[in-house]
Structure 1
Amino acid sequence: MLSFLQRIGKSLMFPIATLPAAALLVRLGMEDMLDIPFITAAGNGILGNLALIFAIGIAMGFAKDGNGAAALAGAIGYLVLDGGIEAINKDVDMGVFAGVIAGVIAGMLYNKYNDVKFPDFLSFFGGKRFVPIITSAVMVVLSFVFGYVWVYPQAVLDSTANWILNGGELGVGVYGVLNRLLIPVGLHHVMNALIWFDFGTFTTEAGEVVRGEINRFLNGDPSAGYFLAGFFPVMMFGLPAACLAMYAAAKKERKAAVGGMFLSIGLTSFITGVTEPIEFSFMFLSPLLYVVHSLLTGVSMILAFVFDVRHGFGFSAGLIDYLLNYNIAQNPFTLILIGLFMGAIYFVIFYFLIVKLDLKTPGREDEEIEEGSTETESSDYDAKAYHYLYALGGPENIETLDYCTTRLRLEMRDREKVDEKELKRQGARGVMKLGKRNLQVIVGTSVEFVADAMKKQMEHGHHVPEGVQDEKVPPVEQETEKVPSRKVKEEDFQMPLNGNVLPLSEVPDEVFAQGMMGPGFAIDPSEETFHSPVNGKVLQVFPTKHAIGLELENGLEMLIHVGLDTVKLDGDGFEALVESGQKVEQGTPLLRVDLDFVKANAPSVVTPFIFTNAEGATVELLKKGYLEKGQKGVMRVEEGGKGNE
């Protein structure tokens, strides 16, 4: 049942994505904006047909391949259901429920009958063409049932809506708490659909009846907006303050690695109101904080109600919607004051609990169990999809793959094959198991592109995408029977260029800083040409030219990774001066880099030097700070030990 409800919640994401456009049109056409009535009417054309839009979107979401035939069946199913019910009893109004029911049934019928075959004289009506037909037949039966029976659940829903909408502080507070508590299982979308799009009615000056908190607020209902206003202080101030608290509580050596992530997701919440990247950053690491966050959301909702604030949004409670609807809100500036108060409360409570209880929020994980994640989401979705599929046990281990706003939703054949550590190393912010086979992977707002890339690879074969190198495995062309010496003497390595030498722990990237790719150190370069620091040969020049693999004469392998997240530059700013298989000596030019370009287009030019096959060896950094090209005595590698010293 939980999985079924989650599919409904996921399917609602597609039609809900139309709301920002509708809200923008409604708002821009009003008298205090552009004063163009037909623009407002155009926006209300969307808001007034949400049940039909839901039927289409949910049918597509339930269909196993998202085919348009399912969407058409959903639309036809809703029209038949609504028309049949109205003919029986005009007082019955199912609202968006009719669209949800039609969409679910149309999607399920599509999955069952999309490939049905008939005799030749009926073959035209076979396959996908049969789905709208069978959907219509089912809806005729349901319209007869609901035409007589729906009056009873409608009475229950009406009484429930009246209690919630007229429950004062308690009603908005309970809604705020439940809205957050249901996010981990993805059911908040279902509850939001009822409050936002169905509960409450309002008759406009033109005589049109509109339903739901959002629609009523945008059309001037003086009683609407109380169930939306309290989210603004949380999303614009509270959660960004929680990010600041987690950053302040992070370990000193980890602040550089997590700071960029917290800044990015904090700004996302403040500007757009998308909060799931923040919430999933601590939801699984510290469930106590998430319960506190849910309760504080209820407090914010109550405060907004007590101070008689009405505000609304078409997408979410971020700065964009706050400014867009400012002129039609009631006491909107009060939300700023409430927000500053909630921000202070969030920071104090989060920081106190994190430090006092030693909660393992990002940046405070124990090193021996830290799983690490790439804090910056790569725009190379094909590469990320390849690694995700590998960590999920391969395409053959995935029964179904869907996504919502920030999460991949999967049904696995064998969930025990999933490598959670590898998923998080590749950038996943969390992994959640539901039931026996269901799995959710929190990716972030780029989830749609990652999911599409995964589906393509599942259809056409799970091969390494062109231009992508899996840096977790040793570079190619290695001699497998050769057991390399683990020693590198001081004179065997010289500075490849002028720059500041840093220990690996100071690299502002968690994967490198924690030694997940191997022991080593880093250089912050101050000139553009990298020379070979060792004698040996070039194992590989990466297709994007941002990295080079070298093999020392003793068989040890070194990865020189110029800058961080530079693979996304697709070779721009890099010029390879050697080729794979070429022998090199200390001082041989390897790579020329346009430092100004890379600095402007990548998070950092700090360059890790990683020994990728030095298991059981220790890299000892002998000198730090600014050193000149050709200088020796910088480092050495000794047998035994664990990574870096």
Structure 2
Amino acid sequence: MNQLGSLQQLSRAIMQPLMILPAIAVVLFVGYVLNCFGFVEASTWMQSSAKGLLDMMPYLFAAGVALGMSNNSGVAAMSGLLGIFIFYKLVSEVLPTNVVEPTILIGIVFGMMAGAIHERFHAIKLPEYMQIFGGARLVVLIMIVLSVALSFLFIQILPGLNNVIQIIGHEIMALGSFGVFLYGVVHRVLIVFGLHHLLNNLVWFHVGSFTDASGSVYTGDMVRFFAGDPTAGGFMAGLFPITMFALPAVAMAIIHESREDLRPKVKKTYLTAAGSSFLTGITEPIEFAFLFAAPYLFIVHALLTGLAMWITFELGILHGFSFSAGAIDYIVNLHLANKGLLLLPIGIVFGLLYYGIFRFAIQKYQIPTPGRVEATLLDDMAGDLLHRVPLIIQALGGKDNLVEVQACITRLRLRVRQEKKIDRHALRMLGAVGVLRLGGGHVQVVFGTYSEFIRDEMLKRLQRDSKQVSLVAPLQGRMIPIEDVPDTIFAKKLVGDGVAFIPDKGELVAPVAGFVRHIYPTMHAIGIETKEGVEVLLHIGIETSGLNGSGFQSIVKEGDQVKPGQLLIKFDMAYIKKRGCSLVTPMVITNSNRIASWSKAPFTIVKKGQTSVLSIVLHEDGHGG
């Protein structure tokens, strides 16, 4: 599994240069529109600019992959460019020009080497009299030396390597519709592990070749498509019916099979996911909704994706995308497509097929898709995303557990010290649709299109040296706003701010590490003080002081040190209810004036001692405003 984690890092790194492709597609589209209106010279400028960027793809991969392999280090990116510049200069003096053109594969090799050198040597300190060559300069120096050596190696193997790549490309092309079907199935399966970019890189940038009128050579289904190859697009066209029609149909099936009381929130969440899939081709929020609940449905989905690609290939449909197979790419690139309009009726058929299969399966096998079981329901993240980030960090094991924080479009790609510290339940409650552990500390958390924003906010908070205290749920049950407590003193926050719980089980556990400052004689309430001086009051039920301790059993005593999840008090829920008392249990910070900011988890079902429910940041001076 360590190898899988390393492949994940490479897969993420390969994505960096792909950011330029949507811009290339838009520039080509603008050039096409200008030509339609008679602005031929301006159209030529735009198309030449786009093709110029395509020619520079190997250099962009050298820099982009180095960035991805080095946590976005500019020194690594520069080193990657230096490497491929050296390669071009040295190899062009030995080999004929038709062999010397750098390829995307060569760019990836130099990018990987630059990233690896940076990670190994950028922090090395030399003796003071030699330190001028240390740090970033040492990275550049080693990269130059190794690039010369690698270039001479390429001189020996490049002609044979080019032949091997061409043979592989021809063999894949020779597979015809079966090859396209196989690509569609494997592509879908690799999405689960975040490794699909490795396969895409092979097909999009290396399979097939095309020489334009100027003599420039382009390789790969995607690059050839945008370079004007009339035979390119076979490995992309079949994805449009799936992302634009089939997966939005799955979202509609999930909505229609949800419970009536949960349907409004499910509808809001999955109409957004359906729109995202249709417009932009981002599918993970929908796919992860059934991946873990019904893996066999995902296998069916993968096979149907292959079938869609086989059908479009057999019909001679050619279309392409710069980002993903959504409606935006469909429209922008339609001028380059062949029989592109046929994708619409095919998509409608696949949409109806998916809708029928998924509704039947959800009903027949009682699949717990979102909205059928309340705990699986995703909340709307847009409104309080900033407030969730501290809780996300806590659910990932805290600041000290995070080694590396990266993100692609739909998922956080992390490296942690201890995977066992990750709280999957808390992450799902905070909006994650999937958590994947790849081994070696490599973890992916799928948050959909918010992932990059979450990454940025996480990095900001991790760089701050602020005092932060995190609390877990003290009870098994449901968390509710403090304002909903049926007691004016708590609801108006006269005691302090916080949250409340409706318990399912008569056990109160410590929400935070600290010492027991006070236990009320009636044992219905307990106060804990943390090492930071935060005072937490836990009050079991409302009007329960009148029970004079009946139905309560204290497990700890004043002065005891406690840790999160440690049992504090047992209480008899049936007895308390019988006496007409409410079981709503507030958890408040009584010295709230010391708190600079609050982050509260969504109000839903929680697990005692496990679910992260509250994160607070103290004023820097330790005192209130």
Tell me whether the two structures share a fold, i.e. TM-score over 0.5.
Answer: yes
The answer to whether 1:62 aligns with 2:69 is yes
Partner of 2:201: 193
Q: Hey, what's the Cα distance between the residues in 1 that align with 2:345 and 2:209? A: 31
Q: Which has the higher contact order (CA 8 A, sep 6+)?
A: 2
Contact kept? 1:283, 1:290, Cα under 8 Å: yes
Partner of 1:223: 231
Q: Do the aligned partners of residues 3 and 327 (structure 1) sit closer, same or farther apart at CA in structure 2, a change above 3 Å counting?
A: same
Contact kept? 2:412, 2:451, Cα under 8 Å: yes
Deviation at 1:251, TM superposition (A): 3.1
Deviation at 1:141, TM superposition (A): 0.9
Deviation at 1:151, TM superposition (A): 3.6
Other structure's SS at 2:406 match: strand
Q: Counterparts of 1:343-422 in structure 2 under 5 Å?
A: 343-365=351-373, 370=375, 372=376, 374-378=378-382, 380-422=384-426
Structure 1, unmatched stretches of 5+, are 475-513, 523-531, 558-612, 622-635
Q: Hey, what's the Cα distance between the residues in 1 that align with 2:438 and 2:66? A: 23
Contact kept? 1:27, 1:218, Cα under 8 Å: no
Deviation at 1:92, TM superposition (A): 5.6
Q: Do the aligned partners of residues 201 and 541 (structure 1) sit closer, same or farther apart at CA in structure 2, a change above 3 Å counting?
A: farther
Partner of 1:482: none
C-alpha RMSD of the superposition: 3.7
Partner of 2:254: 246
| Deviation per residue, 1:75-126 (Å, 9 max, x gap) | 1112222333333333266621111111111011111221333455544332
Q: Do the aligned partners of residues 331 and 261 (structure 1) sit closer, same or farther apart at CA in structure 2, a change above 3 Å counting?
A: same
Partner of 2:46: 39
Q: Hey, what's the Cα distance between the residues in 1 that align with 2:494 and 2:324? A: 45
Contact kept? 1:541, 1:549, Cα under 8 Å: no
User: 28-37 or 432-441, which moves further after superposition?
Assistant: 28-37
Partner of 1:540: 493
Structure 2, unmatched stretches of 5+, are 502-521, 526-568, 586-603, 606-625
Deviation at 1:231, TM superposition (A): 0.8
Partner of 2:479: 517
Deviation at 1:405, TM superposition (A): 1.9
Q: Hey, what's the Cα distance between the residues in 2 that align with 1:269 and 1:471? A: 36
The answer to whether 1:202 aligns with 2:210 is yes
Deviation at 1:373, TM superposition (A): 5.1
Other structure's SS at 2:77 match: helix
Other structure's SS at 2:478 match: coil
The answer to whether 1:10 aligns with 2:17 is no
Contact kept? 1:88, 1:144, Cα under 8 Å: no
Contact kept? 2:235, 2:309, Cα under 8 Å: yes
Q: Hey, what's the Cα distance between the residues in 2 that align with 1:276 and 1:355? A: 23
Partner of 2:439: 435
Q: Hey, what's the Cα distance between the residues in 2 that align with 1:256 and 1:380? A: 19
Q: Do the aligned partners of residues 428 and 310 (structure 1) sit closer, same or farther apart at CA in structure 2, a change above 3 Å counting?
A: same
Partner of 1:257: 265
Other structure's SS at 1:540 match: coil
Deviation at 1:276, TM superposition (A): 1.7
Contact kept? 1:538, 1:549, Cα under 8 Å: no
Deviation at 1:424, TM superposition (A): 0.8
Give the letter for the 1:27 counterpart: F
Deviation at 1:32, TM superposition (A): 3.6
Q: 2:25 aligns with which of 23, 27, 35?
A: 23
> What is the total number of aligned residue pairs between the two structures?
518
Q: Hey, what's the Cα distance between the residues in 2 that align with 1:69 and 1:23? A: 29
Give the letter for the 1:437 counterpart: G
Q: Hey, what's the Cα distance between the residues in 2 that align with 1:56 and 1:639? A: 60
Contact kept? 2:370, 2:377, Cα under 8 Å: no
Contact kept? 2:266, 2:377, Cα under 8 Å: no
Partner of 1:268: 276
Other structure's SS at 1:117 match: coil
Give the letter for the 1:180 counterpart: R
Q: 1:449 aligns with which of 453, 477, 485?
A: 453
| Deviation per residue, 1:387-413 (Å, 9 max, x gap) | 011111111112222222211122222
Partner of 1:48: 55
The answer to whether 1:282 aligns with 2:299 is no
Q: Hey, what's the Cα distance between the residues in 1 that align with 2:427 and 2:136? A: 37
Deviation at 1:130, TM superposition (A): 2.3
Q: 1:141 aligns with which of 139, 145, 149?
A: 149
Partner of 2:82: 76
Partner of 1:214: 222
Q: Hey, what's the Cα distance between the residues in 2 that align with 1:220 and 1:454? A: 42
Q: Do the aligned partners of residues 386 and 157 (structure 1) sit closer, same or farther apart at CA in structure 2, a change above 3 Å counting?
A: same
Other structure's SS at 1:446 match: helix
Q: Hey, what's the Cα distance between the residues in 2 that align with 1:240 and 1:453? A: 30
Give the letter for the 2:91 counterpart: I
Q: Counterparts of 1:97-116 in structure 2 under 5 Å?
A: 97-116=105-124
Deviation at 1:197, TM superposition (A): 2.0
Give the letter for the 2:9 counterpart: R
Partner of 2:564: none
Give the letter for the 2:342 counterpart: T
Partner of 2:428: 424
